[in-house]
Amino acid sequence: MSQSIHGERTAAEASDARVPGTQRPHMATLLLESLKRLSPRAMARNPVMAVVAVGTLVCALYTGLAVHEGATFGFALSVTLVLLATVLFANAAEALAESRGKAQAGSLRATRSQLSARRLERDGSEVTVSADTLRRGDRVRVIADEMIPADGEIVKGAGSINESAVTGESAPVLREAGTDNSGVSAGTRLLSDELIIEVSVDPGESLLDRMIALVEGASRQKTPSELALSVLITTLTLVFLIVVVTLSPMAAFVGITTSPVMLVALLVCLIPTTIGGLLPAIGIAGMSRAMRANLVAKSGKAVEIAGSIDTLLLDKTGTITLGDRRATEFASCERVSVERLREVACRCSLEDPTPEGRSIVTLARDQGFDQRLDQTGASFIPFSAATRLSGVDLPDGTRLRKGAPNAIAEFVKDQGGSVPAGWSALVSRIAARGATPLAVADGGRLLGVIALSDVIKSGMAERFAQLREMGVKTVMITGDNPVTAAAIAAEAGVDDYVAEATPERKLAIIREEQATGRLVAMMGDGTNDAPALAQADLGLAMNSGTQAAREAGNMVDLDSDPGKLLQAVEIGKQLLITRGALTTFSLANDVAKYFAILPAIFVASMPSLGALNVLKLHSPESAVLAAVIFNALIIPALIPFALRGVRFKADSATGLLRRNLLVYGLGGLLLPFPAIKLLDVLLAGLL
Amino acid sequence: MNEVILCYALVLGLAFPLGIYMARALDDERESRIDRLFRPIEAVIYRLAGVNETRVMRWPAYALAVVVLHLLLIALAWGVFMAQGVLPLNPDGIAGMSWDTALHTAVSFATNTNQQHYSGQAQLSYLSQTFAIVTLQFITPATGLAVLLAIARVLLKKRAAPVAEATGQSVGVGNYYRDLVRTLVRILLPLAMVVALLLTWQGMPSTWQGAQTVAPLDQSVATTQQIPLGPVASMVAIKQLGTNGGGWYGPNSTVPLENPTPLSNLIETVSLLLIPVALLVAMAVFTGRRRLMAGIGGVMLAFSLISTSVLIASERLPNAAFEGLAAVGSANLEGKELRFGPEMSALWASWTTQTSNGSVNAMHDSLNPMGGMVTLMDMFINVTFGGIGVGLIGYLLYLMLAAFIGSLMIGRAPELMGRALETREMRRISLAILAQPLVILGLTALTVAVPGLVGTSNPTFHGLSQVLYEYTSAFANNGSGFEGLGDGTPWWNLTCVVALLIGRFVPMLVPLAVAAWLAGKRMAPAGRGTLAMDSGAFVGLTAGVIVIINLLGFLPVLVLGPIAEQLTLGY
């Protein structure tokens, strides 16, 4: 794909560009971006790096003075350059995160920029206008093979749409006015039919625009916990500023002359440059990760809140179960063989196009039913809501039927048969385990029941066990009756369930959970879900949903996959852990840096303090350089961490804390010792 | 060594019954027999003071009541100290203090610090000692405990007082006057009475008579000697119990009159640590968070044992200045009261700096450099049990920081006990954290940089340590000193006043405000997914935060002070 020599990019290529790693910004672009961010206005956004920048200037000044006075300036110059590199590395981290995020969003935007639209005027006439002039409330007509010009809702018509430009999924989806699947996104292609769409956003407010705003460094709004963390690292920076500024007069009092360049080096090593430099990149990368999962957050806050979710409300269908029922058992009546039941069930279902019908044949074959059934001349009776049964009339006049137990019982009586004893016990036995009983009859004779069950998606039980481990409560929401719901809930391993749920009930549950202090997440698509989506702390709307739902939620899933809630929680947690881990790492690093720099600063005037040089570093200059070089290099070394996020493993809070403290706390304490020693050995060779 | 172990055992043993009593006495939600006993006395006090003890205050009103009362007391004490020469109860005819020393003394005692830039028996009348000084010695620890109660009530209590609606607004935290009076009447006064009687029994002066003129045994220098007396025992009792530290006599509890026997030394030593440790038990009962308090107590005890061990080890080493002299002993006996020896002196030094008490039974200035450094570290940390009330409040500040980082590390938005720690809270917490290095390092650097200000009795490293110790002691509201410092000057008095006030009220009132804000917020129920504050990992994280913050902030100055001194002494 990278060999595409033509200027045009297909939608497929555009979506491929969003796969991580396939598009790397050029090194030169990156350097240019990093240099651009040296402007005072950009630096002012990040107090920690601003202090480093000022420190760089101070060192540069002393280098200049040394050159002017003809003194040795190699050390001062080296420190200046390393400090400059520190700032540039931090800028590069932000630029890199931003460019990757923008590449994802930008490729989406590109597909849309030259779109035109047929706007319907009030008098019914059509005007062709550019898509970016469309405003909320405008109506446009789209016909087959055209691109949808703006985000909106279908007000008339139905059609299949290729959403691959937005979701990366090429299978077309059906969207229809007046249903819960009436939402459309700009940049997707209508494959069939004709639609009238009401535009739902003004220019610059579409989902794509929001996505782009979340990853653009300069205009990006910091999230609440990012702001609070900024306060903390700014405070630490001030603390170290006080420590270093007061050090000079105190040293003078005891007869030690301190070198300003070394003091600046000490300051830069102490202030939390690692987290300070990577904080913007972590935030941007968190948004990008959400975007890569096709989750569009309306604000950074939504992504962050996902990490703190205590309760997940999950729709049964599509999230926990595959969505359609499958035959799982043949239960025959007394004095009827299972083989006979299987055969009749198969004959009824051979021409049944529904997933249930096909699953009956599949189950029979799986159980070893291999008889070839000749049905020439038979006529298939399809299912209808009125009769609630389906079946086949064989040429010999045999009437085979399957259907709802009540309807089949009626049918049997009509045929002159009777309902055998034990029938209702059989039916309720099936229903009690959460399956739907489907009765089978051969003319006037009841043969037995097929159990149709919801099939739980594979891996769901493990997923819920993980969530429980993480302390997240899962609640299954279903329209099923309580018996069925209980059986499925038990099998899937959710913590709680709500049967016969209505949108009002969902809203009530969210309120109840919130009243106990929990943060609740839910997913929805219908207009009647909108109040619950708005009430939930994380309301994840399906992109296929109605405009009302999409507006009420604070996150939109482009794939309209109900399982995404789990992913949203993980992305949120990963974002927060990455921040916490790098903050801890950054602070823990300081201990080693003290041991490198403090003796170096004092030893010239006070040789007895050389005893503190526990690392046995070569010389004061090499020690200080080794520390600042380590301090600078750790930023690019951790960029992958910042962009990918730290590895997240589902575990209890205490387990996570213990593990992360060991890795980032203890690791951060110990790692710099050998690293600084190694750099010192290398420098000693050079000097 | 046995005595040291005995002291720890006595404190821990007494802390449990006392703590349980304190929790019962202070809990205003449950009626008890204690109420029936004390309520009539308290009613009289409320009526005399003209305060409404039933009004529930939000945090600003509570903080304002604290500040206003203290300002009043400072003004009053300042006046008494300056005018004591013409006031009654002055049998020895002591003159009034200079304005700056009087101000410093008033502020120092009103901040539970008891830093003394004067010599008690020579410069204060009985009126000043018993009414101005002792009043403040009772009110200040009671205030620390009152604010802790307010915080515990809204934030720490397991079944927190019902917050009608989580509106994000601050909630009522209690009534300062009520908390203050109940603490005074039910805890400090009875306890001080018991200890004062014990000390009097051991021979400590308890009299209104003026100084006694006696004929010394060795009459070669003078034929008569004035022995200053007074109601000493009652002051020493609350001095030790109330993390105050300001003694009747200039040399504090090294003087036989202020510490007559080995038993009185034991009583005074145990009194140093008793209430701060008992408070942990009291809070465990009061809040219902036993495991949390056990974790906090564990960290504090570990810090305390480390500090005491290093101090004892340091003082067992000989004094480097005596090297080569015939008098060189096995331990550092300079500045020690030989009756107590190096170990009980080191134990006292360790406990008095941990609890922000500041009384001494040996001269800290004469500690070996490593021992001196430990006393400084104790005061930087200042939450190793800490001052009454403020020790736990200060620990809470570190707990908030640890909870902030810990929440992030488990992937949740920062929260403390289920309540969101947001930018507003972090700003205030940061203020409290920033205040310490700003005041201590800033004033130390300023004082050593401007010629003629320091007044140190030592050059270089130890001189720097003296200056550092004075401001650290002021900010930590400790009150002990590396004496020998000429600190009776307006510069020292006024800069110490700044350090005293900031060091007292910022770390005390910031957690109150934050607790009240947090209490008004939604509270997520604790579960597997939330930060378990009683888990070993979190306890370790909090200890780590305390060590790292203090080490990173003060290691450079410690290198220039005690560490350099140690290394140049060459052992």
The pLDDT tens digits for A409-467 are: 888 888 888 888 888 888 888 887 778 888 999 888 888 999 888 788 777 888 888 88
Put simply, the chain B residues between 462 and 491 with a CB less than 8 A from any chain A CB are 463-464
Please compute the mean of the pLDDT values over residues A353-359 and round it to a whole number: 81
Q: Is A239 in CB contact (< 8 Å) with chain B? A: yes
- Rounded Cα distance, A555 and A539, in Å: 6
Is A573 part of the contact surface with chain B (CB cutoff 8 Å)?
A: yes
pLDDT > 50? residue A19: no
The two three-digit tokens of residue B450, written as one number: 């401007």
Residue with tokens 């702001």: A227
Greatest mean pLDDT among A333-337, B166-170, B308-312: B308-312
Instruction: Identify all chain A residues contacting B413, using CB atoms and an 8 Å cutoff.
Output: 224-225, 304-305, 307-308, 576
A495 is catalytic: no
Contact A590 B552 (CB under 8 A): yes
Smallest Cα–Cα separation from B519: which of B173, B138, B140? B173
Asked if residue B29 lies in contact with residue B160, where contact means CB atoms within 8 angstroms, the answer is: no
- Range of B241's domain? 2-211+227-288
Within 10 A of A647 (CB to CB), how many other CB atoms are there? 12
Instruction: List Cβ neighbours of B552 (8 Å cut-off, separation of 6 or more).
Output: A239, A240, A243, A270, A587, A590, A591, A594
CATH superfamily label, A310-320+457-569: HAD superfamily/HAD-like (3.40.50.1000)
Q: Is B452 helix (H, G, I), strand (E, B) or coil?
A: coil
pLDDT of residue A379: 85
**B409 and A580: CB-CB below 8 Å?**
yes
Q: Are B243 and B388 in contact (CB under 8 A)?
A: yes
Contacts with A654 from chain B: Cβ below 8 Å: 532, 535, 537-538
Q: Say whether residue B557 is in contact with chain A using an 8 A CB cutoff.
A: yes
Residues A81, B138: Cα–Cα separation, whole Å: 59
B412, closest residue in chain A (CA to CA): A308
Instruction: Tell whether the model's pLDDT for residue B501 goes beyond 50.
Output: yes
Residue A111 has pLDDT above 60, yes or no: no
Cα dihedral B425, B428, B430, B433, rounded to 10, equals: -130
CA A236 to chain centre: 32
Q: Is residue B440 part of a domain?
A: no
A651/chain B closest Cα distance in angstroms: 8
Strands (E), A425-544: 436-442, 445-456, 473-477, 496-498, 520-524, 538-542
Q: What is the pLDDT of residue A170?
A: 64
B548 touches chain A (CB under 8 A): yes
Task: Report the distance separating Cα B147 and Cα B273, nearest Å.
Answer: 19
Query: Is A44 a residue whose pLDDT tops 70?
Result: yes
Shortest Cα–Cα distance, A367 to chain B (Å): 44
Domain boundaries, chain A: 11-104+213-291+572-686, 310-320+457-569, 325-455
How many folded domains does chain B comprise?
1
- CA B18 from chain centre, in angstroms, equals 19
Contact A471 B414 (CB under 8 A): no
Class of domain A325-455: alpha beta
Contact state of A246 with B544 under an 8 Å Cβ cutoff: no
CB-nearest partner of A656 from B410, B544, B553: B410
Please indicate if any CB of chain A lies within 8 Å of the CB of B552. Answer: yes
Work out the average pLDDT over B392-416: 94
Yes or no, beta carbons of B525 and A594 under 8 Å apart: no
* Percentage of residues in chain A having pLDDT higher than 90: 25
Coil/strand/helix, residue B402 = helix
CB contact under 8 A, A228 and B421: yes
CB-CB: which of B418, B426, B530 is closest to A228?
B426
Distance, in Å, from the CA atom of A42 to the CA atom of A49, rounded to the nearest integer, reads: 10
Alpha-carbon span A666 to A676, nearest angstrom: 16
Q: Write out chain B residues lying below 8 Å of A658, CB-based.
A: 535-537
Judge whether residue B183 has pLDDT over 70.
yes
Q: Say whether pLDDT at B517 is over 60.
A: yes
ipTM for the assembly: 0.93
> Are B374 and B571 spatial neighbours (Cβ–Cβ below 8 Å)?
no
Catalytic residue among A138, A151, A180, A315: A315
Neighboring chain B residues of A661 at a CB cutoff of 8 Å = 409, 537, 540-541, 544
CB contact under 8 A, A657 and B463: no
Q: Which residues of A are annotated as a binding site?
A: 352, 356, 383-390, 402, 525, 529
- Closest CB to B433: pick one of A235, A244, A256: A235
**pLDDT value of residue A427:** 86
Q: For residue A8, is pLDDT > 50? A: no
Q: How far apart are CA A460 and CA A456, in angstroms?
A: 7
Cβ(B80)–Cβ(B65) below 8 Å = no
From A71-85, A405-419, B392-406, the region with the lowest mean pLDDT: A405-419
Is B266 an 8 Å CB contact of chain A? no
Picking from A239, A249, A581, the nearest residue to B409 by CB comes out as A581
* Distance in angstroms (rounded) separating the CA atoms of residues B373 and B386: 18
Residue A612 is nearest to which of B422, B541, B559, comparing CB atoms? B559
| Top-confidence range, A223-232, A367-376, A448-457 | A223-232
Asked if pLDDT for residue A677 goes beyond 90, the answer is: yes
Interface residue A577 vs chain B (CB under 8 A): yes
CA–CA dist B2, A664 (Å, integer) = 41
Of A245, A248, A587, Cβ closest to residue B548: A587
The position carrying tokens 């004490």 is B77
With left for phi above 0 and alpha for psi between -120 and 50, is residue A318 left, alpha or beta?
left
Band (pLDDT 50/70/90 cuts) for residue A15 is very low
Q: Which of B342, B346, B507 is nearest to B440 (CA)?
A: B507
- What integer pLDDT is reported at residue B288 of this predicted model? 92
Given an 8 Å threshold on Cβ–Cβ distance, is B434 in contact with A232? no
Residue B118 lies in a domain: yes
Mean per-residue pLDDT over chain A, rounded: 84
Find chain A residues with C-beta within 8 A of B554's C-beta.
Answer: 243
Mapping DSSP to helix (H, G, I), strand (E, B) and coil, where does residue A612 land?
helix
d(CA A88, CA A35): 7
Q: How remote is the C-alpha of B282 from its chain's centroid?
A: 18
Q: What pLDDT score was predicted for residue A217?
A: 61
Q: Is the CB of B526 inside 8 Å of chain A's CB atoms?
A: no
Q: Which chain A residue's Cα is nearest to B567?
A: A608
Distance from CA of A518 to the nearest CA of B (A): 5
Question: Which residues 453-472 of chain A have a CB within 8 Å of chain B?
Answer: 468-472
Binding residues of A for Mg(2+): 525, 529
Residue B343 lies in a domain: no
Say whether residue B551 is in contact with chain A using an 8 A CB cutoff. Answer: yes
Phi, psi at residue A335, to the nearest 5°?
60, 20
> Is B89 contained in some domain?
yes
Cα(A241)–Cα(B560) distance, integer angstroms:
18
CA distance B100 to B78: 9
